[in-house]
Each structure stands twice: as C-alpha cells, then as structure tokens.
Structure 1
Amino acid sequence: MNEAKLKEAKTKPANTANTTGANAANGKSGRRSKSSPPPVRIFSLGGIGEIGKNMYGIEYKNEIVIVDAGLKFPDSRLSGIDYIIPDISYLTQNQHKIKGLFLTHGHEDHIGALPFVLRQLSVPVYGGALTIGLVRAKLEEYRMLGEVKLHVFDENDRFDYQQLSVHFFRTTHSIPDAYGIVIDTPYGAVVHTGDFKFDFTPEDKPANLFKMASVGGEGVLALLADSTNSEKEGFTPSERRVGGAILEAFRQCDGRILFATFASNVHRLQQVVDAAMQCNRKIVVIGRSMEKVFAIGQDLGYIRVPEGMLVDVKHIDRYEDRQILIVCTGSQGEPNAALSRIASGAHRSVQIYPGDTVIFSSSPIPGNGQNVNRSIDMLMRAGAHVIYGSIFDIHTSGHGCREDLKLMLSFIRPKFFIPIHGEYRMLLSHKNLALQTGLTEDRVFVMNIGDTLSVYRNRAKRGRTIPAGEVFISNGEMRLNEDELVEERMELAQEGIVVVVMTVDSRTGKILSGPDIVTRGFVYMQDARPLLRRAEAALRRSLNRMGEKETYSQKLWLRTTQQVMRRYFQREVGRTPHIMPSVLEV
C-alpha cells in the first residue's frame, strides 16, 4: 500500500496586539494589551454516553484533526434501520479546516461510518496497514475507492501542519495495528488512547510502553481514554490464555465445530487456525465479513493458513464431521449473519445436526444479550452442543479493566482528563479512577456528545455546544430526521398499516376504481371486512364531495385520504394506524 506523508511547514503564529486610546483596566492611554489566545477545543460527535459511533475532534485556530468515524447498531425500537452514524454537520461547515481523519484501529465502531462520512467530506484518511486494508475493502464495496486518499502510517511517522502535529504509539487490542494518537498543540499534547489493554504476552507486537511513558514525560495537556471496562476489577486477561482454551475445547469435540466470533478479531482467528491445525481439521469460512477479513489478513501476513487447509463450503460433505471446523459470523445473534441463518435452517449449504458443537467466542455487546440468547436457544433446539459465556474461557476482552486504565493514566499523566468510549456509568467509573490516581475534580470532564472543552495551557472550561446527534442509515441511504423516522417505526409496530389504493381520472377527478383498503398489523381482515367496506364508502363520499368543490390535485387527494381515514378509524376502533394512500392517475 502506498504510504504518504502530508507535511506542511510549521510556522509559529504571530503575536497580535491591540492599540487602544484608553485602557479601562489601568486608566493609561496608549498601552498595548495582548488579545486572549485561542483555546484548543476538544469535542465528540459520538462515542460518549454510548457504545459505538466513535468520532472525536481536536481544533486549534484554523486546523482540525478528526479521530475515528464509527457506527453503532440500532436497538429493537428501530426496526428497518441498518446503522446509526454521527451527525457531522459541524465538520461539513468547517471542512476547510480539516487536515486529516486518523483511525485508531479497524473495528466497525471506529471505521464503519466512513463510506457515509466521506460522501460529505473530502479529507485524507490515515490508519495502520490492516486498518487501511479494511477501509479499502469497505470503500470498494460502496464504489468509492478511487474518490478517497488513503495513507498507511506506522508508529514512527509524524504529520506536521502549521498549528498541529500528529504522531502515534502502538497499543494492544483485539485487532492488529491498534494505535494511540498524539496531537501536539501549542499548549501541549492531546492524547487519544483508542481501544486498548495491557497484555504482556500478546499474540501480536507488544504495546510500546516506553513511548507512552515518553509522551507522558514530555507533558500531556489532555487525555481521552477508553472507558468500556472501567467497572471491572483487575487487569484484562491475556489473549494468549484464550488460545489454550480454544485448543482444549477443540480436542473435546468429536463432531463438526462451528466457531463464531467477531470477524475483525484477527488474533482470535489465527488462534483458531492454529488449534484446527493441531486437531487435523479443515476450515470452512462462512459470512461475507469473515471471508473479507480472512483474505485481507492473509494478504498482510496477519493470518497464516497452511496450504490446502481452507475448504469451500460447497465441498464440506467430502470430509468426515471430525475433520471440519466452520468459522462464521453471528456471535452477536445478528438476524442476517451466517450463524443465525444456520440456526434457523435458512442457510443454503449448512444445517445443524446432533453432534455439532457451536462455540461463541465473544461477549454480547451491551443491549444485545436477547439476540444472542435467542440464537443459542435455536441452536440447542436443533441438537447442537453450545459453548458460550465463561465456559472454557474462550473469550477475553480487548478493552482494559480498572488496573489497565489506572496504568494508562500513570503513563500519560495528563493535566486534564476526558473519559470516552462508554455509557454514562462507565464514564463516571473512569472519572473516579482518575481521581484515585491524583487528578482533581476540576480537571476531569465527563462530557456529552456535542459538548466542547476549551483547553488552555493551565486551565480548561466547557465551551459552546456544536451540532451533533444521530443519522440513521436505511438501505444505504441517510435519514436525517430521526424523530420522524422513530415515530413512523413505532406507529407501524404498535398500530399497524392501512394501504388505500384508487384509480382516478386526472382530468376530471372522477374515481374510476376503488378506493380499496388492505391492512397489516391493524385488524384481522377476515373479521373486519364490514368495517373496511364502510371505511371505503366513507372515503369515496368525502372525495366525491371534495371533487364537486375543488379542482383535482393528487397532493390534495392524498392528504384528504389520510385525514379521513385517521378520523374514521379513531372513531370506530379507537386506534390510528399508519395510512399509506396511493392514487393512480390515468
């Protein structure tokens, strides 16, 4: 991949002074007073008070550096919504200030919004080798690859701008090429840890503890740090321990094994390959995202699979059950993921048989436990033996627990601290840890999305809020009016839908056929035919009367249909379904 460094000559901002005829403060005329220096502004467009859609900005004068552009998945109340991404209207208004978008690592909650963000922003994107590989594949899927400048950085790179400079330190996470990002400002460094834990027996390159301490020793203005596991005691267990547990679980299985994990957990995938090799099993990879990560991981050398070990799913029946390992997506119970389709019997190539073992190697994302439990139940009903939760220790988090977080605070030693990446209780827990390490109450800021923190050399205060919120993605399109969309979805779920169809002469406004009414989720049509026939007659009378007084207009007829039907069903049934009229003109 092409490595490019954007370097601009760094210049010192000129001091400015104002000359006034009188100085009200000291009563002396002609005295020059320095204007107030501008602050470094730190803000979040996502990732605070929630799990997912991480996006942060550091701004000084006419320069902005963006860190991450992630998505989050909707909960059950948002049926029909695919993703939720940050509202970036503040960035679009200030696009001329943006120097680059820097990515901490390649998980979806940090890179998933890029195809939609980069439709609105023309900015260069920087990340580690695997991160850019995943971004490249994502943009290719959206047919945007040629439109975006992608740059690979390593730990020793530095990008200098007029006011700000950006450099990095390696961290340990559940995916390779995870970095902390350092943004040097005139008042000191702003450090963003990314997602991290301290693993002293890692599967990949170790975190650069020396560089973390060096950054802290040079003086850090502000620290933004991952809070996901701030409520959990101790250190997060090493990934190395999980590899042994996976091998032990494989050795105890006589039939086929289905292994579900996050596709982006590349370290875990290599552990699975190693265990399968020792147990003489062929590997079948199922799920589009899993197939993509396997391909990218092999190209970059992060996943090493012996020749002939990968088997196409079409050839799975050529091998005995004890020779097969299926690695698939669906560890979070996602309805359309491979494992969910296999569990429900909807997968075209793989079904569950008694004797199969299914291993969930992940923890449910907060709020996602119900989907995971439903998937486990379906698998057990189909006859599979399911390993999940803490059984066999087949999963460990990529996020640091309380001792990890305190260690990071001790390395970085910031003047000011902003806990990020977590729900509100996690942010508060992280704040309390910071107070234990010596920071004072006035130097720790628990913020909300859209808040800004104005930081000077020795003080910080909350600044004005900026536009922020959520943008919904449905069928690849952005929906900005989330309140209207949520209301519509709730109405459909609770009250049902009524579709009204009619054909009208566009010249005279005469009804040629209909109106005909079809309902779903409102009333049972077989029992409610008299009610619906009366509704059709009432609507026909209203439209005919209107046609005698008003010139025909499709827009007017659609609005009148909605009003008449709402009033009718409220009066007759006491409910107001979502009315969807359709007027066909001839």
Structure 2
Amino acid sequence: MAASSLKNPPAQQGNALRVIPLGGLGDIGRNMTALEYKGQLLLIDCGVLFPEENHPGVDLILPGFGVIEDRLDDVVGVVLTHGHEDHIGGVPYLLRQRTDIPLIGSKLTLALVSEKFREHQIRGVVKREVTDLERITVGHFDLEFIAVNHSIPDALAVAVRTPAGLLLHTGDFKMDQLPLDDRITDVRSLARLGEEGVDLFLVDSTNAEVPGFTTPERDIAPALERVFSRSKQRVIVACFASHVHRVQQVMDAAAEHGRKVVYVGRSMVRNMGVARDLGYLKVPENTLIDMRDIDKHRPQDVVIISTGSQGEPLSALSRMANREHQVISLKPGDTVVLASSMIPGNENAIYRVINGLTKLGAKVVHKGNAMVHVSGHASAGELLFCYNIVKPRNVMPVHGESRHLIANADLAVATGVPRERTIIAEDGSVVDLQNGRARIVGKVDASYIFVDGSTVGNITESALTDRRILGEEGFISIVTVVNTHTSTITSGPDIHARGFVEGEHVFDSLRPLVVEALENALQEGIDDPYRLQQAVRRRTGKWVNDTHRRRPMIIPVVIQA
C-alpha cells in the first residue's frame, strides 16, 4: 500500500494474499474490502454509510479508499455483490478518479449502479456482467460467483482463488427456503467449495446475535393483507428504494385490493423502473399511476410506496410527516407502514417521523407492532449451518458492528474453527493469508471520507466538532476596533450571538470585561491582532462559563484602525 498511508505493516510476502477491509467493520454500511496479490488489487464492494446526528452537514460517508488512491492503476476490478447502497453507493466517487476500472456484477446490480453514473455524469465505465456459477479470471484472481438469497434480487457471493489460497466472501445473504423469486442460496456450491478447501471465509455478521433462522420474506404477506383489508383510506408503505421483493409484495396486495400504486421518492422511481425493465419486478397491468394523478383517485383506491423508512430528513416520508411534501398531504385515517428494520443510529430520527405521522392522525404500522418486515441477513442458525458445510480453515467476520463480528466469530468457534483462526479485524486491518493461516500483520488508515454537497474528503473531524458546537451551543462574535499607536479602543465592542441566551441586556456585564481585557493587553504593549483576539476570547469564555455554564463558539475580531 502507499507508504504515506501505512502504519508500518510489514512488506507483503511473495505468496501471500493480503486482505484489507476499508469499510463495513464496526458500522452497518460503507462495505468495501481490498484484496492484493502480486501487486494487483481486487476490490469487493464500495458502499456508503449514511450520517448520524453527530455528523452535521454530512450527506454521505465513503469507505477509506484514500489509502489506495495512488495505486488505482493496480486495481484490476471491483466486484459488486449486490445492489444495495451500502455496497454500491460509493462507486461513482471511486470512479471519478479512474473511470475505466472494470465493474463486475450481476445484471440488476450493474443496472442500478449505471443509474448513478448518469447522475454523476460519469462516462466510459467498463462493466462485466456475470451470473451465478460463472467463473472468470481478472488479473491474478480467479473468480467464481455463487447465488445467494438476500432482500434484493441477483445477489452473489464470490470465491477468489489465488496460489495463496481460496477466499470465499458471502456478501449479504440469508437462506430463505421459499424466496419470492425462487432463487435460493446455492448450498451445493458452498459445500463444493468446502470440499475444495476454503482458506479464508468472510461472512456476513449483521444477524449473528439473532438465534435461529431468519423468517422467510413471504411471511409478511398476512400482515400486509390485514393492513389493506382494514384501511379505509390511503396506505403509505415506506421501505428501502432497492427492496424489490418488498415492493413486489406491496404491488401484489394493492392489485388484489383494486388499488392504484404511486412511487414517491426519486430513488424509488429510478430503482423500480430499472427492476421492471429487467423483469425483476412484475407490475400488474393498470396498477401504476403517476404521482401527479394521485388526486384523481379516491383515497381508499391508492397505495403510495415511498422512501424514508430510516427517517432521513429530506426523504419523502419525512416531508409528509412535517407537512412539507409538495404533493401529498397526510389525512387522519391514513395508514403508514414502515416496512424495514431500524439501522443502528437511526432510531431517534425514525421515532421523530413516527411521532410526526401520528400527530397528523395517521396509523403507523411498524416492526414493533406487526410483522411487516423480515431481515435480509442470515441469523445464527444459518451461519452455523454455513460453517458446518464450508469447514473453513480461517474465518474473518465482516459486515456489522463490533458486537456482531464477535458474535459471528463465536459461532465459528462453536463449529470447530480454532479461536486463533478467527480474525476480529477493524477497518484498515491488514490481514495476510499465507500457508493456510490468516493473521493481522498491520494497519492502514481507513477512516471516514465525508461527502458534503459537492465536497469530498475535505471535511475533517475538527470541522464536524465546530459544527456540533454551533448547533448545540451557538456562537458569540465580538467586534472591536483599536488604535495600537495610541493603545486605545476606538469602537465597540459590538457583541452579537446566535443560538445562545436570548435577551436585550444579556451582554451588558460582558462589555466592560472585554474592554478591560483589551486595555490591559494594549498597555502591556501587545499590538498583534491575533494576541488581542486571544485575550478577548479568554475573557469571554470565562464569563460565559461562570454566568451561563455554556460552551458556545467564540469569534473575536480585533480591527486595527
């Protein structure tokens, strides 16, 4: 890796396969793994993480691919396991730097990511479509793709063969035995690879703490049926914009009850259009209508499928809850279904939306009070089953928070994998697979890359801290004009504040203290505006702390006349 980005990992040995997670370990999102062999890099996924409340002004968080920016010419391909945002959302930001990196994935996955290239105006992208059981060679890497079941069609696991050993990456998966699209996880191929000998098994950890087996997708149908049967007005269903299976079930229920369907949210319209065009979504005839025509139909004849199930502030559902949507106004008696899980960190935002919807008179149905969502990830029983059929030599849990990774490692140990061969890695851990043994050998910088509007990577933790202070504590500005030749104050101090204590005379007691601090500094011969500003800042900070027990941002300005 780039010398400037390393924290002294040893040089890669001649026949070692190096594995570096650049995201997805410790968070639910920004999944990305780099594999290196003989100087070539193969990337698996490149997703985004959505910001939390402690990331003010941040739109997206990217994987730590800054570590490979000066080695993009060594990248022989990016394997995309499936089309969820936490696996493909970062691809346009990576390809801005080198547009001809080959993208390898299934038909639906490549179609969804292609829509992003149109938005980002990226052209000349090289795409290689693959199907399950297909085997291709990319540089030094021999790749085989295996069908896995997930909450989006066309998901793939990938087996990577090199002379250093066989690595198997599950991607996100579960083992639904009755999937809506009849495409089950290919257990035969997993067992075959196990017979061949899997040297390193990278396994989805999201549901490792959940006992048993994940509930089949089709089991939410009775709950949807009850919602449609009981609702006398509009039904609004919020789910992920890429959850084709969930949208299909809502679409089928709507058609059965004679309701028209409206997509709301740009990503929902885009993704479902792609899924329909490729045949992954079956839309009953005369069911879909345009949002502009929604008022032409009675409320009891309409179903709205919307984005915003995670409480995103600018999403369609949040706008409805805040009475800010330009077309749709919720009415008492409407039913809103949150047909998704709560991603950790989004709970407060989601409950704010639920409260807003409830205040408007809507009945809110969610996972807490009805079975309107099932997970797309394998639970502990399925993971145990996989370990028993694959029998890996080494295991490295991926995709999850620390507690998920540790729980997944414990499952591997329970099936006979030696504890010392279960790798609890972090983003940036450097893992070498050599002679049948995987070990952490170093660390690289895989920290967050923030996207703020059109700005990528220039938002520092210090800037975020400033934003948090401004948002939580407000700011005070003090403007003073001084004559350093006569050591006098000629104007001010003028004190202004936002987000601080309100009141006409709040700062009456502060002004003489600022004057005193400046006059003392001037009499001591200090004529440097920066040092004078520091004197003002110190005195103001002490006053704020003593008087109000607050920590606003203090911005002193001293102008020399």
TM-score (norm 1): 0.85
Q: Paired residue for 1:262? A: 240
Q: Paired residue for 2:553? A: 578
Q: Paired residue for 1:136? A: 114
Which among 12, 26, 44 is matched to residue 21 of structure 2?
44
Q: Is 1:73 paired with 2:44?
A: no
Q: Paired residue for 1:235? A: 213
Distance in 1 (CA, whole Å) between partners of 2:359 and 2:367 is 18
In structure 2, runs of 5+ residues without a counterpart are 1-11
SS in 2 for 1:415: coil
Which among 212, 225, 229 is matched to residue 190 of structure 2?
212
Distance in 2 (CA, whole Å) between partners of 1:543 and 1:296 is 68
Which among 160, 179, 187 is matched to residue 183 of structure 1?
160
Q: Paired residue for 1:467? A: 445
Distance in 2 (CA, whole Å) between partners of 1:143 and 1:581 is 43
1:283-322 deviation digits (Å, cap 9, x = unpaired): 1111111111122112212122234322222322221111
Q: Is 1:497 paired with 2:475?
A: yes
Q: Paired residue for 1:418? A: 396
Q: Paired residue for 1:399? A: 377
Q: Paired residue for 1:567? A: 538
Alpha-carbon contact 1:197-1:401 (below 8 Å) kept: yes
Higher mean C-alpha displacement, 35-44 vs 51-60: 35-44
Q: CA deviation at 1:189?
A: 1.4
Q: Is 1:452 paired with 2:430?
A: yes
**CA 1:513–1:220 in structure 2 vs 1: closer, same or farther (change >3 Å)?**
same
**CA 1:537–1:305 in structure 2 vs 1: closer, same or farther (change >3 Å)?**
farther
SS in 2 for 1:59: strand
TM-score (norm 2): 0.88
Q: Paired residue for 1:149? A: 126
Q: Is 1:322 paired with 2:300?
A: yes
**CA 1:444–1:318 in structure 2 vs 1: closer, same or farther (change >3 Å)?**
same
Q: Is 1:340 paired with 2:318?
A: yes
SS in 1 for 2:442: coil
SS in 1 for 2:396: strand
Which among 461, 484, 490 is matched to residue 462 of structure 2?
484
Distance in 2 (CA, whole Å) between partners of 1:125 and 1:406 is 32
Distance in 1 (CA, whole Å) between partners of 2:502 and 2:376 is 50
Higher mean C-alpha displacement, 455-464 vs 276-285: 455-464
**CA 1:494–1:333 in structure 2 vs 1: closer, same or farther (change >3 Å)?**
closer
Q: Is 1:519 paired with 2:494?
A: no
Which among 369, 375, 385 is matched to residue 363 of structure 2?
385
Amino acid of the structure 2 residue aligned with 1:530: D
**CA 1:392–1:528 in structure 2 vs 1: closer, same or farther (change >3 Å)?**
closer
Amino acid of the structure 2 residue aligned with 1:248: R
**CA 1:266–1:535 in structure 2 vs 1: closer, same or farther (change >3 Å)?**
farther
Q: CA deviation at 1:127?
A: 1.8
Which among 52, 63, 74 is matched to residue 97 of structure 1?
74
Q: Is 1:432 paired with 2:410?
A: yes
Q: CA deviation at 1:58?
A: 1.5
Alpha-carbon contact 1:92-1:121 (below 8 Å) kept: no
1:184-210 deviation digits (Å, cap 9, x = unpaired): 110321111000000111112233222
Which among 366, 371, 374 is matched to residue 349 of structure 2?
371
In the alignment of these two chains, the number of paired residues is 540
SS in 2 for 1:399: coil
Alpha-carbon contact 1:126-1:150 (below 8 Å) kept: yes
Alpha-carbon contact 1:562-1:579 (below 8 Å) kept: no
1:258-293 deviation digits (Å, cap 9, x = unpaired): 111111111110111111000000111111111111
Alpha-carbon contact 1:515-1:539 (below 8 Å) kept: no
**CA 1:516–1:184 in structure 2 vs 1: closer, same or farther (change >3 Å)?**
same
**CA 1:539–1:139 in structure 2 vs 1: closer, same or farther (change >3 Å)?**
farther
**CA 1:560–1:336 in structure 2 vs 1: closer, same or farther (change >3 Å)?**
farther
SS in 1 for 2:96: helix
SS in 2 for 1:66: strand
Q: CA deviation at 1:67?
A: 0.5
Amino acid of the structure 2 residue aligned with 1:131: T
Identity, % of aligned positions: 36
Amino acid of the structure 1 residue aligned with 2:143: V
Alpha-carbon contact 1:566-1:576 (below 8 Å) kept: no
**CA 1:268–1:36 in structure 2 vs 1: closer, same or farther (change >3 Å)?**
closer
SS in 1 for 2:199: strand
**CA 1:206–1:291 in structure 2 vs 1: closer, same or farther (change >3 Å)?**
same
Q: CA deviation at 1:108?
A: 1.2
Higher mean C-alpha displacement, 83-92 vs 191-200: 83-92
**Over aligned residue pairs, what C-alpha RMSD do you find?**
2.9
**CA 1:279–1:162 in structure 2 vs 1: closer, same or farther (change >3 Å)?**
closer
Q: CA deviation at 1:567?
A: 1.9
Amino acid of the structure 1 residue aligned with 2:416: G
Higher mean C-alpha displacement, 370-379 vs 169-178: 370-379
Alpha-carbon contact 1:566-1:577 (below 8 Å) kept: no
Which among 98, 109, 117 is matched to residue 94 of structure 2?
117
Q: Paired residue for 1:300? A: 278
Distance in 2 (CA, whole Å) between partners of 1:129 and 1:340 is 32
Distance in 2 (CA, whole Å) between partners of 1:124 and 1:562 is 54
**CA 1:147–1:540 in structure 2 vs 1: closer, same or farther (change >3 Å)?**
farther
Distance in 2 (CA, whole Å) between partners of 1:296 and 1:489 is 38
**CA 1:141–1:161 in structure 2 vs 1: closer, same or farther (change >3 Å)?**
closer
**CA 1:256–1:413 in structure 2 vs 1: closer, same or farther (change >3 Å)?**
same
Distance in 2 (CA, whole Å) between partners of 1:161 and 1:285 is 39
Alpha-carbon contact 1:174-1:397 (below 8 Å) kept: yes
1:518-548 deviation digits (Å, cap 9, x = unpaired): 31122325232535755886799799999x9
Q: CA deviation at 1:105?
A: 0.7
In structure 1, runs of 5+ residues without a counterpart are 1-34, 551-555
Q: Paired residue for 2:327? A: 349
Which among 36, 42, 46 is matched to residue 59 of structure 1?
36
Alpha-carbon contact 1:261-1:362 (below 8 Å) kept: yes
Distance in 1 (CA, whole Å) between partners of 2:282 and 2:72 is 41
Alpha-carbon contact 1:503-1:584 (below 8 Å) kept: yes
Q: CA deviation at 1:357?
A: 0.8
Alpha-carbon contact 1:565-1:579 (below 8 Å) kept: no
Amino acid of the structure 1 residue aligned with 2:463: L
**CA 1:520–1:445 in structure 2 vs 1: closer, same or farther (change >3 Å)?**
same
1:160-196 deviation digits (Å, cap 9, x = unpaired): 1452212211100000111001111103211110000
Q: CA deviation at 1:158?
A: 3.1
Distance in 2 (CA, whole Å) between partners of 1:512 and 1:305 is 74
Distance in 1 (CA, whole Å) between partners of 2:19 and 2:170 is 14
Alpha-carbon contact 1:198-1:207 (below 8 Å) kept: yes
Which among 174, 180, 192 is matched to residue 197 of structure 1?
174
**CA 1:577–1:373 in structure 2 vs 1: closer, same or farther (change >3 Å)?**
closer
**CA 1:208–1:515 in structure 2 vs 1: closer, same or farther (change >3 Å)?**
same
Alpha-carbon contact 1:197-1:236 (below 8 Å) kept: yes
Alpha-carbon contact 1:77-1:489 (below 8 Å) kept: no
